[in-house]
Every structure is written in C-alpha cells, then in structure tokens.
Amino acid sequence: MTGVSGARVELRSLTKAFGAAKAVDNVSLEIPAGAFVSLLGPSGSGKTTMLNLIAGFLSADAGEILLDGASISAVPPHKRNIGMVFQSYSLFPHMSVAENVRFPLRMRSRLTRSAARERVAEMLALVRLAHLGGRYPRQLSGGQQQRVAMARALVSRPRLLLMDEPLGALDKKLREEMQAEIRRIHRSIGTTVLYVTHDQAEALSMSDMVAVVHEGRIAQAGAPRALYEAPADVFVADFLGDSNLLAARCLRTNGDRASVQLPSGELIEAMQGTCAARPGDDVVVLIRPEDIAVEDMTTASPIAVAVDPAMRRSEACSILSGTVRDIAYHGDVFELEVLVGAIVVTVKVGRAHTRALAPGKQVSLCWNATSARLLPATPVSA
Ligand code: ADP
Ligand code: MG
C-alpha cells in the first residue's frame, strides 16, 4: 500500500469515568508513528474504553488525544480517519467479501468506480483473499472473516488502526497464524497500530512496544524484552509470563546489588533494578522459572542447566535446597514445583534434562544474581 504514513499518537492525562468508577484514569502514552503498540491488561482494566476514546465513540472527561500533534477532540469519529477491527467481525452477511471491503469507500465520493475497484483488489491481495472476493461471509472460516474485517478497516487508508482483541474468537493454532499475518500486514503498510489483548504472549511477540494496563492506568510501557526482564512492579512481573515472586527483607546493599533474606532465613543476592531498596525494607524478589538451574543433590549431577558452570560455585550464584513436589509436562518443557522450606519455587526444565526427576527428589536450585530482581513489596501501579 502506498501513500500512507502512520500517525504519531499522544494520549495526555486521559480520564473517563462511568459513574464513580474511573475506567481510564489519567493515562498518558506516546505512540511513535508507524509503530505496533499493544495495550495489555486483564479484562475490565480499561483497554476498550481507551480505544473508544481514541476512535471518538466516547468523549473523555479530561485530557487530550493528539494525532501528529493536533488535538482531535473536536473531530467527529468518521472524520478521524482511524480504522477499527473488533473481536466480532461484524461483516454484512448479505454482501460479498468484495462488497464488504468496498463499503467504507461508498461514504467517500472522491474515488471513481474504477479506482475504488482497484483499491478493493489491492486490499484483498494484502490480506491474501484475492480469490475469494465473490464469496459471502458465511462461506468463510473465522480467520478468513477476520482478514476481510482487516481489509475493510484498511481500505480508507487510515493513519491509525485500532484492533480490539481481534483474535479472541480463534483457536490457538489459527491465532498464532493470524498473529504472524497481522505483523506481515503491518510491515507492508505504514499505518500505526494500537492493538488490544489480554494475552501476554501475543503482546510480547507482536509488538514494538507494550503498555501494561492495570485498573485504568498504564502500569508500565516499553519494549517487550525490557518489560519482561525489568518489570517495574509485582503486577507487571506477574502479568507478563510466569514468575517466582518471593517475599524477602533487604539486609545489605552494594551499588546495584542487594543481599536479601527469605522468611526461612536463606540469603539471596539480587539486582536492585529500579527498586532502590534500603536495609530493613520489605521487598519482593523476582526470579523467572527458566533462569533457575536444578541439580540432583544426591549425585551432584545437573538436571537442568541454566547457569554458567564457572559461576556455579561463586558468590554470584544463589543456591537453595528443596524437594520436588510436583512435575507438570508442557510438551516443550517440564514445570517443577520445588518446596523450599515453606515456599514453592517454580522451575522450567527442558525435556532433555528430566530423566532423573521424580516427586520427592532432593534438589538444589541455583541461579545467577543477575537473574534475580528486587521489586517494591507493594505494587506502584495499584
Ligand atoms: P477492558 O476492555 O480492559 O476489558 P473496559 O474498557 O471494557 O475494559 O471496561 C473498563 C471498566 O469500565 C470496567 O469496569 C467496565 O465494567 C466499565 N465500563 C465499560 N464501559 C462501560 C459503560 N458503557 N458503562 C458503565 N461502565 C462501563
Ligand atoms: Mg475490552
């Protein structure tokens, strides 16, 4: 698609309440031109309300929305040139695929008939449905119907495309195919995309930037890897992937490093990150299950290797002893629950390393201090 440049979008202190409840609470966010940005949050956190404010279906109580630096508050929805795709495809059942895609162009008199026909063909090719223009929606699969909905949303060449859980109705395999498809379409056009999902894997794999939404606010926004590796608080850490979140008390700090103590007395070395804990503070230690190595305590042979052996016996490595309580098979990995005193630590272990494992086995858990991060004991975003 030619001639489209994505809009730079700015939300400034956006607020919207329904009665006494603030569905969107003082949200500020900058979306770079042409970026693929996800709003990721649980059901009821305010994601759809944010999209409706941007599309103009709702008006904000306070704050502003800017497209390329210009406020759109006074611009009615149909003049904002924003495309929308919903979970329900909302195609017209009595119109063919091509007629559905052409529909938004009927409102605009600027295009000649042949130019409109060309534009529709271009859109159908973009979503790889060029051969199905004559079919009716009921003759298409769910994935194909969603492609039609995308073609229809893009036919007016919007500078911003809003997508609200577009893959929510599809099964896992098809959803993953469509994720790749949407990425491809985004790359081949210039449009900025704001994509709503409650699926963390979807947000992480598709986006240039993810904004984690919690109770009407943005808890944290950033590149997927930065959010996963350096979450700002317990909510973000917990929502993005699996995590061990261990309550502890800070004993000593040394630059970016801190020594903390679990209630059972064990000491753990961890990185401060942005936590800035001081001795005596209650903290939470985040350790991702895939960053933990497991060793058979009876034979000292490694069961799962996630740690550089040279680090293994150095002070840079934390070691806890525990007992395997449960083993769950996930296909690509095994998930172990290891009882360490009174706490349960989750560990992910590759299939190749699990021969010697069984519930009741005594193991030691080991990880690099750089894989353990301190978080404030109370969520900042709550
Ligand atoms: P999400 O899309 O993240 O699931 P929503 O934006 O739909 O969340 O809803 C955010 C909050 O606002 C919820 O508590 C919801 O019940 C409430 N809400 C949304 N729309 C309305 C409405 N039209 N009237 C009253 N409350 C609403
Ligand atoms: Mg919603």
Does the beta carbon of 217 lie inside 6 Å of ligand 1? Answer: no
Quick: pLDDT tens for 139-166.
Answer: 999 999 999 999 999 999 999 999 999 9
Residue 180, pLDDT > 50, answer: yes
According to the model, what pLDDT value does residue 146 have?
Answer: 93
Alpha-carbon span 358 to 336, nearest angstrom: 10
According to the model, what pLDDT value does residue 353 have?
Answer: 60
For residue 212, the cross-strand partners are 40, 220
Atom of ligand 1 nearest to the CA of 45: 3
> What's the angle, vertex CA 80, arms to CA 74 and CA 85, rounded to 5?
130
Neighbouring C-beta atoms of residue 56, cutoff 10 Å: 17
**Which protein residue's CA is at the shortest distance from atom 27 of ligand 1?**
18
What are the start-end ranges of the H helices in 127-206? 142-154, 172-188, 200-206
Burial class of residue 238 in the structure, from the number of CB atoms within 10 Å of its CB (0-12 exposed, 13-18 middle, 19+ buried) = middle
| SS3 of residue 250 by DSSP | strand
**Across 363-378, average pLDDT:** 90
According to the model, what pLDDT value does residue 382 have?
Answer: 41
Atom of ligand 1 nearest to the CA of 41: 3
What is the pTM (predicted TM-score) of this model? 0.90
Quick: pLDDT tens for 226-245.
Answer: 999 999 999 999 999 899 99
Residue 368, pLDDT > 90, answer: no
According to the model, what pLDDT value does residue 297 have?
Answer: 73
**Which protein residue's CA is at the shortest distance from atom 17 of ligand 1?**
23
Alpha-carbon span 78 to 107, nearest angstrom: 10
**Across 262-280, average pLDDT:** 91
| Percent helix, percent strand, percent coil in the chain, to nearest 5 | 25, 35, 35
**Which protein residue's CA is at the shortest distance from atom 22 of ligand 1?**
18
Alpha-carbon span 23 to 314, nearest angstrom: 49
**Across 373-380, average pLDDT:** 81
Comparison of pLDDT for 334 and 8, the residue scoring more: 8
Spatial neighbors of 359 by CB under 8 A, at least 6 apart, are: 324, 325, 326, 327
| Token pair listed for 222 | 């950033």
According to the model, what pLDDT value does residue 381 have?
Answer: 43
Ligand nearest to the CA of 17: 1
Alpha-carbon span 269 to 259, nearest angstrom: 5
Å from CA of 346 to ligand 2 middle: 31
**Which protein residue's CA is at the shortest distance from atom 21 of ligand 1?**
18
According to the model, what pLDDT value does residue 175 have?
Answer: 93
Strands 317-329 and 282-287: unpaired
Ligand nearest to the CA of 87: 2
